[in-house]
């Protein structure tokens, strides 16, 4: 499978800071939206949580 610059004929340049910014932003979003439901679920009483299923 060819890379995008080879297949399109357009040069692609990505500064290191934009790569780091994108990686950091997506990691923080994933951690936040993974931790919020986990913390909320950990505060529930197990009997009450299972009663509604």
Whether 44 maps to a domain, the answer reads yes
Distance linking the first and last C-alpha atoms of the chain: 47
In a domain, 42, yes or no: yes
Tokens for 1? Answer: 């499978």
Range of the domain at 49: 25-53
pTM of the model as a whole? 0.59
> How many structural domains is the chain composed of?
1
Q: Which helix (H) or strand (E) holds 41?
A: helix 16-42
Looking at the domain assignment, is residue 11 inside a domain?
no
Per-residue pLDDT of 1-53, as tens digits, reads 456 666 666 676 778 888 899 999 999 999 999 999 999 989 988 888 788 65
Q: Is residue 34 part of a domain?
A: yes
Residue 39 belongs to some domain of the structure: yes
Name the region of 49 (left: φ>0; alpha: ψ -120 to 50; beta: rest). alpha
CB neighbour class for 38 (10 Å; exposed up to 12, middle 13-18, buried from 19)? exposed
| Residue appearing with tokens 């500064």 | 15
Q: Note whether residue 13 is domain-resident.
A: no
């Amino acid at each position: 499978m060819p890379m995008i610059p080879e297949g399109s004929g357009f040069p692609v340049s990505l500064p290191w800071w934009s790569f780091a910014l994108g990686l950091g932003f997506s990691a923080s979003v994933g951690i936040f939206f993974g931790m919020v439901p986990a913390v909320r679920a950990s505060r529930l009483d197990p009997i009450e949580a299972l009663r509604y299923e």
